[in-house]
């Protein structure tokens, strides 16, 4: 990136240029009138010169800057400054005035097929809210800053997806489960990439995330199986605690004195009752000795 940066400039008032324009038009009218009255070609020539001068040297220099817009001013290939203050202005008529919007804008990224950290193909798309801060960099440091943003965003998304898994454990940063952390990482990556173009990233987030179609069904089955296993694990943990508590209460209150075999049978029956999916589980209440 070059050492040149944006330089804000406040041009002359456009009303001054407009006054000069009307003065030249008035001079043209008077010259033509005098030429007709005196039948003098010099006055006619003077009128033509003043009229052409008003068209060439005054009108092209007038321009308007609306709120949240700017004009990058270049005179004979040299950057002279950027007009950001809204209003009506006049500059050298040979100055080119390139308009650059300063409004916050949104990039809806295309859906990309990438591989996550585990190598699984996923579909991902992002939304990036950005704004031009350095008009000089946006106009002269890159070829087309809007295309530059789109290409760099795609590259950042591919890099981001390769650093995280689609899904994982509870304490692991993943694309699906760690929305804020992933968005922060994406914003940081885009900020570094777009700094060259004078672009600041206001916000970025994932707008679409899914497994690729070829593995979506298989991964859905895996997620369902993991959910069932996790649920079963919690049920068993809870049942063990309840059985342990029940046996302790029976022993403390002296309701029944169980030997090892009876204790094992009661534990088995209680686990069946607590872990069964049936609404009316069958419990063996018979004695081990009959």
> How confident is the model over 29-76, as pLDDT tens digits?
887 777 767 766 676 777 788 888 888 888 899 999 999 999 999 999
Mean pLDDT of the chain: 82
Q: Which of 139, 5, 9 is nearest to 83 (CA)?
A: 9
CA separation for the pair 266, 270 (Å, rounded): 6
Mean pLDDT for 207-230 is 70
> How confident is the model over 90-147, as pLDDT tens digits?
999 999 999 999 999 999 989 998 888 888 888 899 999 999 999 999 999 999 999 9
Q: What is the pLDDT of residue 286?
A: 46
User: What is the percent of the chain where pLDDT is above 90?
Assistant: 41
Q: Which of 162, 151, 173 is nearest to 124 (CA)?
A: 162
Write down the number of H helices and E strands in the chain: 7, 10
Higher pLDDT, 281 or 114: 114
> How confident is the model over 140-176, as pLDDT tens digits?
999 999 999 999 999 999 999 889 888 876 678 888 8
Contacts 24+ apart (CB under 8 A), 24-33: 24/50, 24/51, 24/53, 24/54, 24/58, 25/50, 25/51, 25/54, 28/54
Q: What is the pLDDT of residue 288?
A: 46
């Amino acid at each position: 990136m070059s050492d040149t940066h944006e330089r804000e400039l406040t041009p002359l008032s456009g009303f001054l240029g407009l006054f000069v324009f009307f003065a030249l038009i008035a001079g043209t009218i008077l010259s033509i009138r005098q030429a007709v009255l005196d039948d003098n070609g010099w006055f006619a020539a003077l009128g033509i010169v003043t009229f052409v001068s008003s068209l060439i040297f005054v009108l092209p220099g007038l321009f308007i800057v609306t709120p949240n817009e700017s004009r990058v001013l270049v005179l004979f290939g040299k950057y002279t400054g950027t007009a950001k203050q809204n209003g009506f202005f006049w500059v050298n008529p040979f100055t080119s005035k390139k308009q650059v919007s300063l409004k916050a804008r949104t990039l809806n990224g295309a859906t990309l097929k990438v591989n996550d950290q585990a190598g699984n193909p996923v579909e991902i798309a992002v939304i990036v809210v950005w704004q031009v801060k350095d008009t000089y960099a946006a106009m002269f440091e890159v070829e087309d800053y809007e295309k530059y943003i789109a290409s760099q965003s795609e590259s950042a998304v591919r890099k981001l997806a390769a650093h995280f898994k689609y899904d994982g454990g509870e304490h692991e940063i993943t694309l699906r489960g760690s929305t804020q952390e992933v968005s922060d990482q994406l914003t940081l990556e885009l900020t570094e990439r777009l700094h060259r173009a004078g672009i600041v990233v206001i916000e970025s987030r994932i707008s679409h995330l899914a497994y690729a179609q070829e593995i979506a069904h298989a991964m859905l089955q895996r997620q369902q199986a993991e959910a069932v296993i996790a649920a079963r694990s919690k049920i068993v943990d809870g049942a063990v605690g309840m059985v342990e508590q029940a046996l302790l209460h029976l022993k403390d209150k002296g309701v029944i004195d169980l030997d090892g075999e009876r204790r094992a049978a009661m534990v088995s029956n209680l686990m069946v009752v607590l872990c069964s999916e049936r609404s009316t589980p069958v419990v063996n209440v018979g004695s081990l000795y009959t």
